[in-house]
Structure 1
Amino acid sequence: MTGAVLAVDQGTSGTKALVVCPERGVIGSGFAPVAPRYGPGGRVEVDPRELLSSVVDAGRQALARAGEPVMAVGLANQGETVLAWDPADGEPLTEAIVWQDRRAAPFCTELAPHADELRQLTGLPLDPYFAAAKMAWIRRELTRDGVVTTSDSWLVHRLTGAFVTDAATAGRTQLLDLDSTDWSPRALDIFGLTGERLPEVVDADGPVGVTTAFGPGVALTGLLVDQQAALLAQSVTEPGTAKCTFGTGAFLLAQTGPTPRRATTGLVSCVAWRLGGSTSYCLDGQVYTAASAVRWLTDLGVISGAADLDPVGSAVPDSGGVTFVPALAGLAAPWWRGDLRGSVTGLGLDTGPGHLVRALCEGIAAQVAGLTDAVAADLGSPVTSLRVDGGLTRSALLMQTQADLLQRPVEVSALPDATALGVAAVARLGTDPGLTLRQAVPEWAPSAVYEPRIGAAEAAERLAGFRAEVDALLARSPATAPAA
C-alpha cells in the first residue's frame, strides 16, 4: 500500500494537518490557529465552530500543498474538551469547555466520597481535568438539551455523520470501564449522567465514515487522543518505555501492555489504544503548564517568545537561587491540586530574566522527573530513557535540564509533529488490515540525545529544593478538592 493519508491534529492552540506518504514522508502541511478564551473562576473555553473550521482549513492547506489525493483521513483530538450539541443538525449548544477549565471543581468536591470507587472503575482520579465532571457541569449549569460529549465526537459527526469516539479518548472521560473498555453504568450514575446518549466506543483503526469536508469523499479511518497518538509515533509500544510531549502542558505516558495497571503513585491508568479489538494500556502523568508558562513569561515581557529561552537562559550560569513552581493552572499528577497557585521564590535585586528562565526550565523538568519516578515505582523498574517531542524540545536548555534532573538520557524526536504522525499510522492501519503496527509506525530515530552533565547528588539536591517549595505551597493551601 503506497497511498498517502491526511492526518489532522486538533490541539488546544491550533490544528496541524499533514499529508503523509509511507515512502516520501510528509509531502504537505497546514496549520490553523485556535484561540481559547480565559476567564475568572478557572474558565477556559473556545467556540466549537472555530475548532471545526480549523480542522477543515488546516486539512485543505495540507492537501493543496501536497497536490495529490489521499486514501484516508485520521483525526487526533484534545481528549478532555467537551461540549453539548444537537445531534439532529450538529449545531453546538454550548461553547467547548477546554481541558484546562476548572469550573467543575466544586462538583468534584461533592463527589469526593466516590473518588476511590471511580479510580478503581476508570483508572482516573476525581478531578475537573477529566471530561465527566465537565459534562455533568454542563448539564447542571448550562443545558439539558442535545448530547454532551468530548469534542472529537462532535467533529467526527460534523465530518461524517457518525456518532463515535475511540476507546482511548473515551478513557479520558472517567466514564469508561478500564477493564471492559465500554461505558460504565456505575460511573455514569455517580456523575448523574445515567440515560445520556453516548457515542459508540470504537477501535482507533476502524473506518467510521466518509467526509467531503476536504474535497472529494474520503474515508475517515483513524481516531486517537493526542497524547496516545504521540506515544504510538515514538514507537513506545513495549512495557516500561516512556515518552513526554512538551506542548501547552507536558504529558508523560509509559506503556504497560495488554493489562491495565492501577497506579499507586498518583498517575493515571488509561487506555493507550484499541487496535483490531486488542487493547494496550499506559500510565499517564501531566504537567498542566509548560509552553503556557513560557507564554506567561512572554506576556510579562521577560522574554519575547519561546525562541528566547536558550539565549536568555544561557546568559547566566544557574537560576541564581530562584525556584519557580509553574503551577499557573494548578498541579496535576501526582498531587492533583488544580486549585493551587504557582510561586516564584528566592528573588533578589540581582535577579534577572535569565534566572527566571532557568528557574522555569527547572520547574518544568523537576515535575517531569517526578512523574518518571512515579512510573518507575508503579512498574517496579526504572525508565531507562525518555523519548520527547513537542515544540519546547527545540530548547536545548530545557532538554539538558531535563536530562540533568532525570539522570537519564533524553532522546528528542526527529519527528516534530508526532501526534499527527501517530494518527496517520492509525489511519493507515484502518485502511489496510494486513498492515502490522511496526510497519505502520515510522522508524524511531532521535534527532538529538541529551546526556546528564551533573552528578546524581547535585540532581537530588536541586529536585529536593523544588519539592520543598511545592510542599510549602501545599502547606499554605489546604486541599479544597478530593486528593487522588
Structure 2
Amino acid sequence: MTVLAIDQGTSGTKAIVVDPADGVLGLAEVPVHPDYLPGGGVEQDPAELLDSVLTAGRLALERAGRPVAAVALANQGETVLAWDPATGRPLSRAIVWQDRRAEPVCAELAAHAADVAARTGLVLDPYFSAPKMAWLRRNVTREGVVTTTDTWLVHALTGEFVTDASTASRSLLLDLDAVAWDSALAELFGLGGERLPRIVGSDEIVGTTTAFGGEIPVAGLVVDQQAALLAENCLDPGTAKCTFGTGAFLLANTGETAPRSASGLTTSVAWRARGATPYCVDGQVYTAASAVRWLTDLGLVGSAAELDAVAAGAADEEAGGVLCVPALAGLAAPWWRSDATAALTGMTLSTGRGDLVRAVLQGIAAQVAELADLLPAPLTALRADGGLTRSAVLMQSVADLTGTPVEVYPSAHATALGAAAFARLAVEPGLAVRGAVVGWTPSTRHEPRWSADRAAAFRDRWRAALALGLPGGQAAEGGS
C-alpha cells in the first residue's frame, strides 16, 4: 500500500511517497526558516509551514507518479499557535518548541511542579506546549483557539479538530495514565475553558483531503520522535533510539506502563494503535545539528559533511584535552537549566580546529551518555537516525561514552517511514503493528572501543566542564 508521509520539522518539511514492497518512490524537502529573537524567542511563519507541507507533498507525489492510499503527518510535538477555527486563519506566529519566553509562566507555578510531573510525566518547563500556550494568551491574543501545529495543519487539510495521543502527551495538559485532557491542569495554566482538540489514535483515519489531488484519507498522526521509535522497531520494553537532528532525542519504549522519572527524564505516550497505548521515556539534547551549524557559522567547518575530516586533525582521540559542553541553548534533561551556557575548556596555543570540532562532537555524545545512564533498563544497543549519523566520529563517541553498540538506521527518513506505518494500520484494519514496520539492518554498527575506566574518566572531566556553564558553577540535580 502506497502512502504519502509528511514530516513537518523545525528546519524543514520532508515528504516521501513510500510502499513497503517498492521503498521510497518520491521524495521532496522544503526548508522552513525559524526566526531566533532576543529574549529566547523562536518563531515560525504559519503560512510558510502550511506551504511547505503542501509543496513538499505535491512534489513527492509528482516524482513518484502513482496514487496513494493515505496521507500521514508527523509533527514537531510542542510548537503552538493561535488560530481562528471558523476560517483556519492564524492569529499568531508559531511559537517553536525551543522558545524560552514562557519561563515566567513556569516560575509562577514552581510550587506545583511535583504535582504536574506526577499527573503528566513531564517536567514543568517552557519546552512543552502549555506554558507557551499560556504565554500566547497573555501576550498575543485571547481570540480563537490555541493548539499545537498538527491540529492546525490537519484542520487546513481536512477541516477536523484533532490531535493524536503522543502529541497530546507533550502538552502538560494530559492525564498521562488516563490519556485524557485534565481540566485541573488547564485551569492551573490559565487555560480553563479553552477548546482542546479530540484525541485520536495514530492508526485512525481522521478525515480526507483534496490538497494532493483526489480525496485521500488522512491518518498516521504522530510526534516525529515517536514515529522514528516505531520505524526503528523499538517495539519492546527497553529498546531505544536516538535521533540526531536539530537536537538529539533519546527515547526508550517502556511498554504499557508509564514510569515517572526521579532523575529528569520525561515520560510520554509512544503511540496509541490497535487499542494499545505503549509509553516511552525520553531525554533531550537541545543542540546537536544546531551546534554543528554554529561551527559552520564560525568557519571551523564548511558543512556537516566535513566534520570527520576536520576532526581527524585533532591531536588525539580526546581532542588534545579540549572539552566542550555545547549548551548553546541551555540544557534540557536531566538538568533542565535554561540558564546554562556553553563551555569550552582545556585549550592551549597548540589547540587546532580539529580539536575544537572533535570536542563539540564528544560534547554531544557525552550528553547522550548522561541520558542513557538514566533509562529504566540498561541499554544493550542504541539505534540511531538523523543527519548527524553520517559522522562516524560522533557515532563512535556515543558508543565509547555509553559503552553500548550504536546501530545506524539505514534510511534518512525514519520519521516519515514511521508515520507511513501508522497510516497503513489505519487503512488496513487486519494489519498488526509489527507487520506495519519494514524490517531493516544497520548500515553501520559502532562497537565501543574505550575501556569503561577511560570513558568514566572522560565523563568525570566533562561534568566538571559542564559546571562552568552553570550560574553558581555547580551542576544541579536532575528534575522530577
Short-chain TM bin: over 0.9
Q: Once structures 1 and 2 are overlaid, which stretch shifts more, 142-151 or 332-341?
A: 332-341
What is the 5 A alignment of 1:225-244? 225-244=223-242
Deviation at 1:466, TM superposition (A): 0.8
TM score, norm. by length of structure 1: 0.97
| Residue of structure 1 equivalent to 2:72 | 74
**Which AA in structure 2 matches 1:420?**
A
In structure 2, the CA distance between the partners of 1:162 and 1:212, relative to structure 1 (3 Å rule), is: same
Q: What is residue 312 of structure 2 aligned with on the other side? A: 314
Please say if residues 115 and 482 of structure 1, whose CA atoms lie closer than 8 Å, have aligned partners that are also in contact: no
Superposition pairs of residues 23-102 of structure 1, within 5 angstroms = 23-102=21-100
Counterpart CA distance in 1 for 2:395 and 2:12 is 24
Q: Which residue of 1 aligns with 2:143?
A: 145
Partner of 1:131: 129
Correspondences of 1:322-471 after superposition (within 5 Å): 322-375=322-375, 379=376, 381-471=377-467
Amino acid of the structure 1 residue aligned with 2:410: A
The residue number in structure 1 matching 2:246 is: 248
Q: What are the Cα deviations for residues 197-230 of structure 1, in whole angstroms up to 9, with x where unaligned? A: 0100111110111111111110002100000000
Q: Which moved more, 1:35-44 or 1:316-325?
A: 316-325
Distance 1:187 1:481, change over 3 A: farther
**CA-CA distance at 1:447 after TM superposition:** 0.6
2:281 to 283, 302, 325: 283
Q: Deviations over 1:283-332 (max 9, x none)?
A: 01000000000001101111111011100001122311111111011100
Please tell me whether the aligned partners of residues 334 and 479 of structure 2 are also in contact (alpha carbons under 8 angstroms): no
CA deviations over 1:30-62 (Å, ceiling 9, x no partner): 111000000111010010110100001110111
The structural deviation recorded for 1:482 is 11
Is the 2:116–2:172 contact (alpha carbons within 8 Å) kept by the matching residues of 1? yes
What CA deviation, in whole Å up to 9, does each residue of 1:5-29 have, x standing for no partner?
Answer: 0000000000000101111111111
Give, in whole Å, the separation in 2 of the partners of 1:22 and 1:452. Answer: 33
| Aligned twin of 1:106 | 104
Contact 2:335-2:478 within 8 A present in 1 as well: no
Q: Distance in 2 between matches of 1:451 and 1:61?
A: 39
State the distance in 1 between where 2:97 and 2:471 align. Answer: 27
Preserved contact between residue 339 and residue 480 of structure 1 (Cα < 8 Å): no
CA shift at 1:277, angstroms?
2.8
Which of 181, 193, 196 is 1:195 aligned to?
193
Q: Letter of the aligned partner of 2:397 in structure 1? A: T
Q: Deviations over 1:396-434 (max 9, x none)?
A: 110111111111100000121100000000000010110
Contact 2:333/2:479, CA 8 A, preserved across alignment: no
Seen in structure 2, the aligned counterparts of structure 1 residues 461 and 467 have a Cα distance that, compared at 3 Å, is: same
Q: Distance in 1 between matches of 2:473 and 2:224?
A: 32
CA distance in 2, matches of 1:237, 1:149: 29
Unpaired runs of at least 5, structure 1:
none
Q: Tell me if structure 1 keeps the 8 A contact 2:158–2:208.
A: yes
One-letter amino acid of the structure 1 residue matched with residue 401 of structure 2: L
Query: Over residues 115-159 of structure 1, what are the superposed CA-to-partner deviations in whole Å (9 max), with x where a residue is unaligned?
Result: 000000000000000000000000011100000000000000001
Identity across matched positions, percent: 61
Secondary structure of 1:329's partner? coil
In 1, Cα distance between equivalents of 2:12 and 2:413: 13
- RMSD of Structure 2 on Structure 1 (CA): 1.4
Q: Which residue type is aligned with residue 121 of structure 1? A: R
Question: 1:479, CA displacement in angstroms?
Answer: 9.8
Quote how far apart the aligned CAs of 1:339 are: 2.1
> Contact 1:125/1:268 (CA < 8 Å) preserved in 2?
yes
Query: CA offsets per residue over residues 360-383 of structure 1, 9 Å max, x none?
Result: 0110000001111000xxx2x311
Structure 1 residue 273 corresponds to structure 2 residue 247: no
Alignment check: 8 A CA contact 2:405 2:448 kept: yes
Q: Quote the Cα distance in structure 2 between the aligned partners of 1:58 and 1:481.
A: 43
Matched residue SS, 2:380: coil
- The residue type paired with residue 354 of structure 2 is G
Structure 2 segments unaligned to the other structure (5+ residues): none
Q: Aligned-pair distance for 1:265?
A: 1.3
Secondary structure of the residue that 1:62 maps to in structure 2? helix
Residues 220-255 of structure 1: per-residue CA shift (max 9 Å, x gap): 021000000000000001001110000000000000
Contact 1:337 1:483 in 2 (8 A): no
Tell me the amino acid that sits aligned with residue 300 of structure 2: V
Deviations 1:69-114 (A, max 9, x none): 0000100000000000000100000000000000001111111001
The Cα of 1:470 is off from its aligned counterpart by 1.5
**Normalising to structure 2: TM-score of the pair?**
0.98
- Distance in 2 (CA, whole Å) between partners of 1:478 and 1:119 is 24
3-state secondary structure, aligned to 1:50:
helix
Q: Structure 2 vs 1, CA of residues 482 and 146 (structure 1 numbering), >3 Å: closer, same or farther? A: farther
The answer as to whether partners of 1:108 and 1:481 remain within 8 angstroms in 2 is no
Q: 1:126 to 1:364 in 2, by over 3 A?
A: same
Q: Report the Cα offset of residue 263 of structure 1.
A: 1.1
| The 10-residue stretch of structure 1 (311-320 or 159-168) with the greater mean CA deviation from structure 2 | 311-320
Q: 1:81 to 1:428 in 2, by over 3 A?
A: same
* AA aligned opposite 1:230: A
**Amino acid paired to 2:81:** L
For 2:479 and 2:337, the matched residues in 1 are separated by 7
Give the partner amino acid of 1:311: A
Structure 1 residue 444: Cα displacement: 2.9
CA contact (8 A) 2:265 2:479 kept: no
Q: How far apart in 1 are the matches of 2:267 and 2:81? A: 24
SS of residue in 2 equivalent to 1:149? strand
Could you tell me how far apart the structure 2 residues matched to 1:119 and 1:165 are?
A: 21
C-alpha distance in 1, partners of 2:60/2:459? 43
CA 1:24–1:303: 2 relative to 1, 3 Å: same
Once the two structures are TM-superposed, the CA of residue 445 in structure 1 deviates from its matched residue by 1.2
